Amino acid sequence: MSEEQNNGAPFSEEQNQQIVDTGIVAANNARHNIRCLTIIGQIEGHYILPPQNKTTKYEHIIPALISIEEDSTIEGLLIVLNTVGGDVEAGLAIAELIAGMSKPTVSIVVGGGHSIGVPLAVSARRSFIVPSATMTIHPVRMNGMMLGVPQTMSYLEKMQARITRFVAANSRMPQERFHELMMERDELVMDVGTVLEGEAAVKEGLIDDLGGLSDAVECLYSLIEQGADSKPKPKAKKRGAAKKKNDASGKASGTVKPAKLTEPKKNAATVVIHRVDNGNYSLNSADWRGER
């Protein structure tokens, strides 16, 4: 028995240093060999935040995720989130890596999972939230100098679309509903958006289950015991899917009729503008001019 265990310390000196450096801890004497990853404070991206800020550094998390994926002795990953958000691209990069892991993953939101913390929360195979936790959904914003030109608006729209697609693909919330909550004007005093408490986040389909730590750990154990090929979470239904299904069921044959030829393609710029202008996830010109 080690000296630390003789002294009654919960973690060894090496484990304590690992928590300080990466926020990851390995559990001892557990039913399965899992890792716990904490994402707290502000997600730090390409710029170093002030020393008084508690941060999660993506240059620490990304190598840790790769190591967990490659280590054959690790059976699953538990992600604990209490974050105010932060760098969008860094947060989305971490979320994409978690969503692409072959090993079972479970996330639990405690305290808050705001802004870019929303994609991080839904990136796991199964997500939990405690009743007292909250999640803030709001549009993308920028700090520092910004040019007041249409290209800036287009850039923000495309970035927001990436987040919206990711959340809809990894939760039960449709893109239309996510955009509706994101653009709510009567919820926040100094911002646009919506704050969802634990139970509301589950009812909206953003989070899978309402529960605590024991529920999340037991769910992770269950996923491990089911095997790596366990069924993924259901995706949000798209509008018009039921109509297409009914149309297909009315056909006499079991084959799908080839799509009709449409008018000649327009240039790429026109197609992109057409899609953005008619997409439910985009902001309109009134938002950009400050008329809303």
User: Under a CB-based contact definition with an 8 Å cutoff, are residues 119 and 86 in contact?
Assistant: no
pLDDT at 22 over 90: no
The pLDDT of 164-193, averaged and rounded, is: 93
Does residue 122 carry a pLDDT above 60?
A: yes
138 in active site: yes
- Comparing 67 with 256, which gets the higher pLDDT? 67
CA dihedral 231, 171, 81, 132 (to 10 degrees): -110
- Taking the C-alpha atoms of residue 133 and residue 201, their distance in angstroms, rounded to an integer, is 10
Q: How confident is the model at residue 88 (pLDDT cuts 50, 70, 90)?
A: very high
Residue with tokens 């729209």: 157
- Mean pLDDT of all residues in the chain? 79
Per-residue pLDDT tens over the stretch 140-151: 888 778 888 899
pLDDT > 90? residue 168: yes
Which amino acid is present at 4? E
What is the distance, to the nearest Å, from the Cα of residue 120 to the centroid of all Cα atoms in its chain?
3
Count CA atoms closer than 13 A to 164's CA, side-chain side.
Answer: 24
* Two tokens, residue 287: 């938002």
Neighbouring CB atoms inside 10 A of 235's CB total 13
Q: What is the pLDDT of residue 270?
A: 34
Average pLDDT over residues 45-73: 91
Rounded CA gap, 169 and 122, in Å?
Answer: 9
State the DSSP H helix or E strand holding residue 102, giving kind and residue range, or none if neither: none
Catalytic residue among 107, 114, 115, 282: 115
Cα→Cα distances 1→5, 8, 225, 271, Å = 6, 11, 30, 67
Distance CA 199, CA 157 (A): 29
The pLDDT score that the predictor gives to residue 46 is: 85
If pLDDT is split at 50, 70 and 90, which confidence band does 290 have?
very low
Q: What is the topology classification, in CATH, of domain 31-250+256-289?
A: 2-enoyl-CoA Hydratase; Chain A, domain 1 (3.90.226)
Q: Does residue 269 surpass a pLDDT of 70?
A: no
Give residue 263's identity as a one-letter amino acid code: E
Provide the pLDDT for residue 29. Answer: 79
Higher pLDDT, 29 or 234: 29
Amino acid 169 reads A
Q: How far apart are CA 285 and CA 105, in angstroms?
A: 40
**237-254: per-residue pLDDT in tens?**
554 444 444 454 444 444
Residue 143's pLDDT is: 78
Structure tokens at 288: 């950009």
DSSP at 114? -
The H helix count followed by the E strand count for the chain is 12, 9
Q: Outline where 117-149 has alpha helix (H).
A: 117-122
Catalytic residue among 138, 171, 179, 282: 138
pTM of the shown model:
0.71
Q: What is the pLDDT of residue 20?
A: 65
Among the listed ranges 49-63, 171-185, 225-239, which one has the minimum average pLDDT value? 225-239
**Average confidence (pLDDT) over 2-12:** 54
Distance between CA atoms of residues 97 and 78, nearest Å: 14
Q: Of 20-24, 213-217, 282-286, which range is least confident?
A: 282-286
